[in-house]
Structure 1
Amino acid sequence: MIIELAEYDEAWPGLYERERERVLGAVPGAVLEHVGSTSVPGLCAKPVIDLMLVVEDPVDEGSYVPGLEAAGYRVVVREDDWHDHRVLKGPDTNVNLHVFRRGCAQVRRHLMFRDWLRATPEDRELYASTKRALVAREWERVQDYADAKNAVVLEILERAYLQWRLPSDDVEFVTETPPLNASVVLRDYDPQWPRWYAVEEAKIRAALGDVVVRLEHVGSTSVPGLAAKPLIDILLVVPDSSDEDAYVPALVAAGYFFRLRERGWHEHRLFKGTEPDVNLHVFSPRSEELDRMLAFRDRLRSHPADREEYERTKRELAARTWERVQDYADAKTRVVERIILRALG
């Protein structure tokens, strides 16, 4: 199979606008974005208009597919094991309409890649030259060509995510702790760690009852075989993390102390427990950070090479002295983002 690239066509944005009117007419109130190479001025591309539709639940096809079918679209792909992704084809223009749920990490991934290429000529040219080199070859399937681009896509996305992950300036410390020179002590994996988590899980469920939407053991102590600080990271999902009255008093009464809030970063709240050392992260259900944290954990559990890369990085960094433990965490960002990007696919 020969892959054909076209030079950027000024007509592509107009084709998107026409489809936008058609799609949003069929699914009022949804979010639609032009993504993929045709959304980046100056970038060569296969002449396929990639659209991204964000709905509450892609699996609930009855909420959006009938309207799209009436507009001439048809479902061609269902991936229940990959973010519940759906793809529909357009009626007359060569269109791929990708459907994801609100809060899915893939949404930001697509937007970030598009926006970074629009703003960064060097990476736009790197991506274009990579595509031109690959289309000179024959491919059995279009997907094989897409897979071959993955290495450079991940390289570009890694740079984009590092910019996005710059420290937030809106952290509000509820309980202050003074900065200190901190040595980071890693321990070999301890089979006690899942048991520690189980005790904390029972405590949280007893304190909050039906307020708990989801509770997960995350972070390094949740990955068998991985060296870690003996710190139990817990992901708590509540109906609305900004509604502190619904869960803060009960968690404080259960022995946790309210450490900080980050309104500008997914309305994140952090609580601490001391025996054992616990970081309790609170989010709302549609936060993309849920996808990212769980994807990172599951990737490390299932891919030994990534687990070894992460442990090697941690051991190298732990040999240094840090002004704050957070500085050690920030220094791991590049390898963390790289592994998350692999996990998201």
Structure 2
Amino acid sequence: MIFWPTAYEGVAVNIELADYDGAWPGLYERERARILAALPGAELEHVGSTSVPGLCAKPVIDMMLVVDDPRDEASYVPALEAAGYRVTIREDDWHDHRILKGPDTNVNLHVFPRGCAQVRRHLLFRDWLRGNADDRELYAQTKRKLAAQPWERVQDYAAAKNEVVLEILERAYLATRAPSDDVEYVTETPTGNVRITLEDYNPAWPEWFAREEARIRTALGDRVLRLEHVGSTSVPGLAAKPLIDILLVVADSDDEDAYVPALVEAGYYLRLREPGWYRHRLLKDSDPEVNLHVFSPACEEVDRMLVFRDRLRDNAGERAEYEAVKRELAERTWGRGQEYADAKTRVVERIILRALA
């Protein structure tokens, strides 16, 4: 699994893989007890190859600690230092990731913020390998083949595994995607014979967002915790439906009284609720057409939407790949617009996974 290779920059190494060792879970439990004694109630997981029974691995126990804000080191680092851990890596530009090393066992303790898409990515990969013998063997064979080669740096070995990791993760994400049947439509729209109309990128779209942003901030004031232009109209050069997707983070999306009436007064209407999907609410307007997506803080989907947008902004090849899929799907007729969105799932997941690698 790809684990933050910058931790090993500049180190010339040979990769030494060990057959799965039944002692590894016990080493994890010992370190878990040590960390919980220092940080009662800490959210901890055993991740990486040593967490997958039957999988060969470098004999390093990878652990993941989820905190509210890794940059707030005063909230967790002194307690861990007292237990013998030490900070070795800070990556403020990559999910605020930290690595701490253990006192007497070869441990990498990776720290991520709650709601970070990396958290689910690593747990899903671990759980998929635990339950899928074919992909576990595929990954093991890839690791052994690559470990037989000389490497200047461990991160080069990790990067070489990337292709197979993404292949496995794509299968895992698609197989575990939650069904979209937990939807309460507050306002119905016509169904049947829906045609998707794509337009070339319009430089006016950011201006449309700016007007909506001002309207939302006027309506909600400091109840707005985050407001972002997302979706295809937020990506210069990308063809899109002329629809402004907006991401709004409020203190509690379930507390509709705190924000829906003000937004309705401003001209939006509540379209749907998805309580089982990140407690998502969707409000809309039609001049211009707007989808206003409302989430609570520390939500993985917020991170994923922003990662996807930023990846498309920065990567012309993947922007072209996504547009080609959109144009092909737009040639079809759909029962609902959501069916068109669902049909894009594979390419969307692939691009997000590349961005998270």
TM-score between the two structures when normalised by the length of structure 2: 0.95
Partner of 1:86: 98
**Paired amino acid for 2:338:** Q
Partner of 1:109: 121
Pairing 1:340–2:356 present: no
Q: Does the residue aligned with 1:145 lie in a helix, a strand or coil?
A: helix
Partner of 2:192: 180
1:43 pairs with one of 31, 36, 55: 55
Partner of 1:230: 242
Q: Does the residue aligned with 2:81 lie in a helix, a strand or coil?
A: helix
Question: Displacement of 1:175 after TM fit?
Answer: 1.3
Identity %: 77
Partner of 2:9: none
Partner of 1:25: 37
Whole-Å Cα distance in 1 between the matches of residues 33 and 227 of structure 2? 40
**Paired amino acid for 1:332:** K
Alignment of 1:317-332 (within 5 A): 317-332=329-344
1:247 pairs with one of 231, 244, 259: 259
**Paired amino acid for 1:333:** T
2:315 pairs with one of 303, 311, 317: 303
Whole-Å Cα distance in 2 between the matches of residues 71 and 312 of structure 1? 53
Question: Displacement of 1:178 after TM fit?
Answer: 3.4
Partner of 1:288: 300
Note the residue ranges of structure 2 that are not aligned, 5 or more in a row.
Answer: 1-12
Partner of 1:313: 325
Question: Displacement of 1:165 after TM fit?
Answer: 2.2
Whole-Å Cα distance in 2 between the matches of residues 10 and 122 of structure 1? 21
Runs of 4+ deviating beyond 3 Å: none
Pairing 1:190–2:202 present: yes
**Paired amino acid for 1:151:** E
Question: Displacement of 1:177 after TM fit?
Answer: 2.1
Q: Does the residue aligned with 2:237 lie in a helix, a strand or coil?
A: coil
**Paired amino acid for 1:161:** Y
Note the residue ranges of structure 1 that are not aligned, 5 or more in a row.
Answer: none
Pairing 1:269–2:269 present: no
1:219 pairs with one of 231, 240, 245: 231
Cα deviation 1:42-68 (Å, max 9, x = unaligned): 111111000000011100111101111
Question: Displacement of 1:166 after TM fit?
Answer: 3.8
Question: Displacement of 1:164 after TM fit?
Answer: 2.6
Partner of 2:130: 118
Q: Does the residue aligned with 1:132 lie in a helix, a strand or coil?
A: helix
Partner of 1:69: 81
Task: Report how many aligned residue pairs link the two structures.
Answer: 345
Cα deviation 1:288-329 (Å, max 9, x = unaligned): 111100010011001101101101111111111112111111
**Paired amino acid for 2:350:** R
Q: Does the residue aligned with 2:251 lie in a helix, a strand or coil?
A: coil
Whole-Å Cα distance in 2 between the matches of residues 207 and 166 of structure 1? 33
Partner of 2:217: 205
Whole-Å Cα distance in 1 between the matches of residues 189 and 259 of structure 2? 23
TM-score between the two structures when normalised by the length of structure 1: 0.98
Whole-Å Cα distance in 1 between the matches of residues 187 and 68 of structure 2? 36
Whole-Å Cα distance in 2 between the matches of residues 2 and 153 of structure 1? 21
**Paired amino acid for 1:90:** G
Question: Displacement of 1:162 after TM fit?
Answer: 1.0
Whole-Å Cα distance in 1 between the matches of residues 329 and 100 of structure 2? 46
Whole-Å Cα distance in 1 between the matches of residues 203 and 79 of structure 2? 52
Q: Say what the alpha-carbon RMSD is for the aligned residues.
A: 0.9
Cα deviation 1:89-141 (Å, max 9, x = unaligned): 00111100000011111110110000111111111111111101100100011
